[in-house]
Structure 1
Amino acid sequence: MDSTLFFLTLTISVSSVPWLVLATATSCDFPAIFNFGDSNSDTGGLSAVYGQAPPPNGETFFHKPAGRYSDGRLVIDFMAERLGLPYLSAYLDAVGSNFTHGANFATAGSTIRPQNTTFQQTGYSPISLNIQFYEFNDFHRRSQTYRNQGVFEKLLPKEEFFSRALYTFDIGQNDLTAGYFLNMSGDQVRAYVPDLMNQFKTIIQYVYDQGGRSFWIHNTGPVACLPYILDRLPITAGQVDHIGCVGPVNDVAKYFNTKLNETVVELRKQFPLAAITYVDVYSVKYTLISKAKELGFVEPLKACCGPGGKYNYNVKVGCGWKGVVDGREVEGTSCKDPTVKINWDGIHYTEAANKWVFDQIVGGAFSDPPVPLAMACHRQ
């Protein structure tokens, strides 16, 4: 055989080995999920602390408020379903919780780094990512102390689950919007992204030190396509892209995602025993919004549940609440058919949109490496 051809054949064969191994690998059989994040994956944390998200939240699937800022299930709920696990109980929710197969530390309004403001002042949660880790650390230790005591055996995870679990992260959106709402420029927001990455990297290391080996990390979505950004930020015509989103703000989100991807690469080198999957939900969500009509959705930049107005959003009157706007009382009510809407309340997605996003990412098409959810324990 010609030496050049032999070398080419050998190169192709060797480079294909990881994917051949993956193709024949078995599913990971994750016994639990431990989730960290903000409202995109909060299943009841903020509701447990500051009061239940009011109706019509939860109306489509749960038929009542269920701690989620949506009409139904979130992406994390669909992930749990696919892995054959129950929906995650919020760590902060003391009533009716079962943590046998994991816990959810995500809290609406959370950021990677502490905001040094109160929830009442800004709407950002004091339960930042470092606090969520402290909660996890305490949960890991105390769950094993109490697990063998009476009823707790059926409510708390086995010790082995912590090393076999899937650790999921979806956080960072609020870190970006917090800067804009403090009247920072895009350049000023970009300037603190490296600090966010350092803090994020530290938390991954802490979880790794606790035994975590399988990580599924979402990047941040196109925040500048959300009604609460379109309604609250001063926007000039030249800043709006072809689908109506604020281009410069989305550019900062993409910068954040680039740095997050670079951080994941560094983490893989630092922790070769870990399987770390980076998931590009930005591309999925932007496609959903830009091709809404083709995909069966309407008014992609307008909320389903709100008090009226151009984007059906007002910062003073949230979904399910009453308030006074321009001298008249209004109420945040649900639209007729949430199943054809992408945005639920100006900030969060509807169940229908969450399901569409999940369907795109579950198979690994938007992951780096391109592994499906059920095989995210396999290192590449």
Structure 2
Amino acid sequence: MLLVILFCVKKVYLIQLKKKLISFVSLMEPQYSLFVIFASLVISLALLPNPTTALSKCSFPAIFNFGDSNSDTGGLSAAFGQAPPPNGETFFHTPSGRYSDGRLVIDFIAESYGLPYLSAFLDSLGSNFSHGANFATAGATIRPQNTTMAQSGYSPISLDVQSVQFSDFHRRSQIFNKQGGFFEKLLPKRDYFSQALYTFDIGQNDLTAGYKLNMTTEEVKAYVPDVLGQFSNAIKKIYGEGGRIFWVHNTGPVGCLPYVMDRFLITAGQIDKHGCASPFNDVAQYFNLRLKEAVAQLRKDLPEATITYVDVYSVKYTLIAQAKKHGFENPFVACCGHGGKYNYNRFLKCGAKKTVDGKEIVISNSCKDPSVRINWDGTHFTEAANKWIFNQIANGSFSDPPISLEMACHRMDR
């Protein structure tokens, strides 16, 4: 109780109280002196500065992002056709390459550092890479898939390809940068690559890929070590290119996504108390456990790296489980979709069109108020949900080590 009281008192009063306690020691009975000395020591500890507050805020000149649709700002759209309306309707008021009604978590990360939104590496139109680049593509996996995109829906631009693209971008951007002119304005400076923040949000599709091949939960878990081995290799490769500061998101609760609950056979006994499919979330949690172990090993292997592991799973699960508490509704119903229990149809996805009486119409319009909805299209989150998620992870409450995004450039004791 004494500790609680002392740490709740303002600093100025703690200083005054410490002085009075010290002056009283000589006047008190011997049996009470030890108590006063102990109290004085506690106050001294309370007055010590927080190690992180003494550090200056980070100022990243650039961000390089790797991932899947959770952070794709236009990669897949540039390669295979634009994400159709009503995607982008809330913030951009037009399709923006994002599978959401607005901004993604990566957009809010860029905003927090005063940087423009990241241009997709694959997008040649209107892109500015002076502040970084986004190599993520929707449908991407860590481990390459032995299927075409038409067959499985998974992007051929897996993490290994993204890391090759980064390496090529790193090398060639500096060749063009030396030419000056508009190249110098559109490409990052050489020093930016070692000073940049490298963000990762990928792995979700690796888990569902196994289920689409009719694998059991145990069979999916069995290949997770190989997936994470390839993830570690990508980090090491980027480290070899000069990357030093990494911000790694774990994978979310895939068992809470409408498309998973609609696509796969799930029994009533496999639904948890909040309405999510337990087997899929169990696999996600196993993946995250092993990912955290992989990050810990990377810290040992890459002595100059600063790697922050972010528990996005817990944040997303909390949002879905306590949707009403946080101002949201219908967490399992897609805002933009068509029919069924979850307003999701994998054959008629968000923005799908159909010809009726010779006229082409959009049959999957968005809900009236996306700001109170969590799920956008059965697979991805709304801008409102993404903003809520960002606000939870930005302060470091879900990070290991527990450091905020604005302090992510500083190394903590290992």
Matching residue's letter, 2:154: Y
Deviation at 1:332, TM superposition (A): 1.6
- Uncovered stretches (5+) of structure 2, i.e. residues with no partner: 1-33, 356-360
Number of the residue aligned with 2:400: 368
- 2:276 is the alignment partner of 1:241: no
Matches of 1:267 and 1:356, distance apart in 2: 30
Number of the residue aligned with 1:337: 369
Matches of 2:155 and 2:206, distance apart in 1: 11
Matching residue's letter, 2:366: S
Deviation at 1:323, TM superposition (A): 4.9
- 2:175 is the alignment partner of 1:131: no
Matching residue's letter, 1:165: A
> What is the RMSD computed on CA atoms of the aligned residues?
2.0
Matches of 2:120 and 2:330, distance apart in 1: 32
Residue-by-residue CA offset, 1:4-39 (whole Å, 9 max, x unaligned): x99xx9xx98xx99x843220001110000000000
Task: Kindly indicate whether the alpha-carbon contact (under 8 Å) linking 2:393 and 2:399 is maintained by their aligned counterparts in 1.
Answer: yes
Number of the residue aligned with 1:166: 197
Alignment length, in residue pairs? 368
Structure 1 segments of 4 or more deviating over 3 A?
A: none
Matches of 1:105 and 1:126, distance apart in 2: 13
Number of the residue aligned with 1:89: 119
Task: Kindly indicate whether the alpha-carbon contact (under 8 Å) linking 2:255 and 2:278 is maintained by their aligned counterparts in 1.
Answer: yes
**Which secondary structure state, in structure 1, belongs to the residue aligned with residue 324 of structure 2?**
coil
Number of the residue aligned with 1:288: 319
- Uncovered stretches (5+) of structure 1, i.e. residues with no partner: none
Matches of 1:278 and 1:30, distance apart in 2: 18
**RCO comparison, higher one (Cα < 8 Å, 6+):** 1
Deviation at 1:171, TM superposition (A): 0.2
**Which secondary structure state, in structure 2, belongs to the residue aligned with residue 294 of structure 1?**
helix
TM-score (norm 2): 0.86
**Which secondary structure state, in structure 1, belongs to the residue aligned with residue 96 of structure 2?**
coil
Task: Kindly indicate whether the alpha-carbon contact (under 8 Å) linking 2:351 and 2:362 is maintained by their aligned counterparts in 1.
Answer: no
Q: How does 1:200-211 map to 2 (within 5 A)?
A: 200-211=231-242
Matching residue's letter, 2:372: V
Deviation at 1:83, TM superposition (A): 0.8
Matching residue's letter, 2:200: F
Number of the residue aligned with 2:410: 378
Matching residue's letter, 1:374: E
- 2:198 is the alignment partner of 1:175: no
**Which secondary structure state, in structure 1, belongs to the residue aligned with residue 51 of structure 2?**
helix
**Which secondary structure state, in structure 2, belongs to the residue aligned with residue 220 of structure 1?**
coil
Task: Kindly indicate whether the alpha-carbon contact (under 8 Å) linking 1:307 and 1:330 is maintained by their aligned counterparts in 2.
Answer: no
Number of the residue aligned with 2:97: 67
Number of the residue aligned with 1:98: 128
Task: Kindly indicate whether the alpha-carbon contact (under 8 Å) linking 1:273 and 1:379 is maintained by their aligned counterparts in 2.
Answer: no
Task: Kindly indicate whether the alpha-carbon contact (under 8 Å) linking 1:339 and 1:351 is maintained by their aligned counterparts in 2.
Answer: yes
Residue-by-residue CA offset, 1:187-215 (whole Å, 9 max, x unaligned): 00000000011101111100111111100
**Which secondary structure state, in structure 1, belongs to the residue aligned with residue 198 of structure 2?**
strand
Deviation at 1:273, TM superposition (A): 1.3
Matches of 2:348 and 2:362, distance apart in 1: 8
Task: Kindly indicate whether the alpha-carbon contact (under 8 Å) linking 1:278 and 1:368 is maintained by their aligned counterparts in 2.
Answer: yes
Matches of 2:94 and 2:178, distance apart in 1: 34
Matches of 2:145 and 2:126, distance apart in 1: 31
**Which secondary structure state, in structure 2, belongs to the residue aligned with residue 35 of structure 1?**
strand
- 2:102 is the alignment partner of 1:46: no
Task: Kindly indicate whether the alpha-carbon contact (under 8 Å) linking 2:105 and 2:387 is maintained by their aligned counterparts in 1.
Answer: yes
TM-score (norm 1): 0.94
Q: How does 1:266-305 map to 2 (within 5 A)?
A: 266-305=297-336
**Which secondary structure state, in structure 2, belongs to the residue aligned with residue 84 of structure 1?**
coil
Number of the residue aligned with 2:177: 147
Q: 2:343 aligns with which of 312, 334, 354?
A: 312
Task: Kindly indicate whether the alpha-carbon contact (under 8 Å) linking 1:56 and 1:319 is maintained by their aligned counterparts in 2.
Answer: yes
Matching residue's letter, 2:103: R
Deviation at 1:248, TM superposition (A): 1.2
**Which secondary structure state, in structure 1, belongs to the residue aligned with residue 341 of structure 2?**
coil
**Which secondary structure state, in structure 1, belongs to the residue aligned with residue 125 of structure 2?**
coil
Residue-by-residue CA offset, 1:102-146 (whole Å, 9 max, x unaligned): 000000000000001111101000000000000000000000000
Task: Kindly indicate whether the alpha-carbon contact (under 8 Å) linking 1:88 and 1:99 is maintained by their aligned counterparts in 2.
Answer: yes
Residue-by-residue CA offset, 1:227-276 (whole Å, 9 max, x unaligned): 10010000101000011110111000000000000001001111121110
Matches of 1:76 and 1:332, distance apart in 2: 26
> Structure 1's 377 and 114: CA in aligned 2 closer, same or farther, altered over 3 A?
same
Deviation at 1:333, TM superposition (A): 1.3
Task: Kindly indicate whether the alpha-carbon contact (under 8 Å) linking 2:83 and 2:95 is maintained by their aligned counterparts in 1.
Answer: yes
Number of the residue aligned with 2:219: 188
Report % sequence identity: 67
Number of the residue aligned with 2:389: 357
Matches of 1:284 and 1:267, distance apart in 2: 24
**Which secondary structure state, in structure 2, belongs to the residue aligned with residue 103 of structure 1?**
strand
Deviation at 1:45, TM superposition (A): 0.1
Matches of 2:398 and 2:362, distance apart in 1: 41
Matching residue's letter, 2:157: I
Number of the residue aligned with 1:212: 243
Deviation at 1:331, TM superposition (A): 1.6
Task: Kindly indicate whether the alpha-carbon contact (under 8 Å) linking 1:317 and 1:332 is maintained by their aligned counterparts in 2.
Answer: yes
